[in-house]
Amino acid sequence: MRMNGTKVRWAVVGSGGIGKRTVGDLRLCDNAEVVAIGSRSRASADAFAQEHQLPLAFDDHAQLCASPDIDAVYIGTPHATHFALASQALRAGKHVLCEKPLTMTADEARELGRIAAAHHVFLMEAMWMKFSPAMQKAVELVAQGAIGEPRFLQAGLGYPVPPDGPKRFWDAALGGGALYDMGVYTITLAQMFLGELAEISVTGCMRPDGVDLEEAITLRYAGGALAQLATSITCLVPPRGWLGGSRGAIDFQQPLFSPGGLTVTTGRPPAPPEVQELKFAREGAGYVPMFRAVNVAILAGATEHPLHPVSATAAVLDIMQRIQAALARERDAIAA
């Protein structure tokens, strides 16, 4: 549905830290206006609205979705709540941008895509990494053949989460674990550059309740390329990675989900390599390029964004489901 006006009016769903960063970065976009907060608690909603000077506050998601003063919602709640909240908003005619992972299963993501298309509204997982200037430059360099054929990618992301840390990490009912919170970035990165997936192998540690603590993942692609990925909620895995090609390599500087720069190395031994350092300024907390692009797409009447369509989200979720199943089999085999 093509919108009138030059700004998208946003409601933020979830009054935690993600919601606060969202408000700040949306306000840095000329094509956005933040007008509302949605929370499970009236007190939390009112406090958030007062702190961020928002005119509307809701403790009922149905009422938020029914508001004529809201065009789009940003969902920043725990993973397992995403499908229900997003589907309700889409059916009410609201555009939806949702924290990763979009849903807990690939089938749920595809269903949301069908709902969005049927109601002529926009839907996207908030994979801000893809929209960062550094990552966009990396995509451009690979497309230009700067490092030759991409053949090998390594990436990691993890940190020790204390037992009394955010429940989304430790509660299986909320989608807890390392894979869905952090591994989604490394898998998405591999999918961006390496083509059609052929094989998955993984080893790691999963608790009896299904919460995965860490994993080492190898993805083999149809063209022979490989990705080695690591994530954890029990130890520090530096948030960075690199992509090796037949003529050079790209090193993604920290943090992987919003790189501050790239190191591009080209050449063949024994000749000395040519090294290029590229730096990129960060806008706000790093969400701004994604928000700006999503606003443009919504105002143009698009139902998804070509940089991160629902099909790409569903493909990553399918991989994560297969990894989870493999970890569960490994856990059960050890227990037996």
**CATH number of the structural domain spanning residue 35:** 3.40.50.720
- pLDDT for the residue numbered 326: 97
* 3, part of any domain: no
Residue-wise DSSP of 25-41: HHTT-TTEEEEEEE-SS
User: Distance (Å, rounded) from C-alpha 235 to C-alpha 335?
Assistant: 23
- pLDDT for the residue numbered 4: 59
User: For 262-295, how does the pLDDT look when each residue is reduced to its tens digit (9 = 90+)?
Assistant: 999 998 888 889 999 999 999 999 999 999 999 9
User: For 13-48, how does the pLDDT look when each residue is reduced to its tens digit (9 = 90+)?
Assistant: 999 889 999 999 999 999 999 999 999 999 999 999
- Domain count across the chain: 2
Give the structural domain span for 265: 133-279+317-335
> Residue 3 pLDDT more than 70?
no
User: Distance (Å, rounded) from C-alpha 135 to C-alpha 137?
Assistant: 5
Residue showing tokens 């090294």: 275
> Residue 79 pLDDT more than 70?
yes
User: Distance (Å, rounded) from C-alpha 37 to C-alpha 76?
Assistant: 11
> Is there a single domain that holds both residue 197 and residue 235?
yes
> Is there a single domain that holds both residue 54 and residue 69?
yes
* 61, part of any domain: yes
* Percent of the chain predicted with pLDDT > 70: 99
* 63, part of any domain: yes
Distance of CA 112 to the CA centre of its chain: 16
pLDDT (average), residues 188-195:
97
- What pTM was computed for the model? 0.95
> Is there a single domain that holds both residue 138 and residue 119?
no
Residues 6+ apart with CB under 8 A from 25: 283, 284, 285, 286, 287, 288, 291
| Tokens coding 1 | 């549905």
* 167, part of any domain: yes
> Is there a single domain that holds both residue 165 and residue 216?
yes
> Is there a single domain that holds both residue 123 and residue 157?
no
Concerning whether 100 is annotated as a catalytic residue, the answer is yes
Q: Which of 7, 20, 94, 100 is catalytic?
A: 100
> Is there a single domain that holds both residue 64 and residue 100?
yes
Mean pLDDT of the chain: 96
Residue 332: HSE in the Cβ half-sphere, 13 Å Cα cutoff: 8
Last residue of a domain, which of 127, 143, 166?
127
**CATH number of the structural domain spanning residue 142:** 3.30.360.10
* 210, part of any domain: yes
Amino acid at 221: Y
Element (H, E) at 305: none
Last residue of a domain, which of 127, 146, 176?
127
> Is there a single domain that holds both residue 322 and residue 259?
yes
User: For 166-179, how does the pLDDT look when each residue is reduced to its tens digit (9 = 90+)?
Assistant: 888 999 998 999 99
> Is there a single domain that holds both residue 156 and residue 26?
no
> Is there a single domain that holds both residue 137 and residue 110?
no
Q: In which band, very low, low, confident or very high, does the pLDDT at 2 lie, cut at 50, 70 and 90?
A: low
User: Distance (Å, rounded) from C-alpha 112 to C-alpha 95?
Assistant: 11
For residues 267 and 122, the model is more confident at 122
> Residue 6 pLDDT more than 80?
yes
Last residue of a domain, which of 74, 95, 127?
127
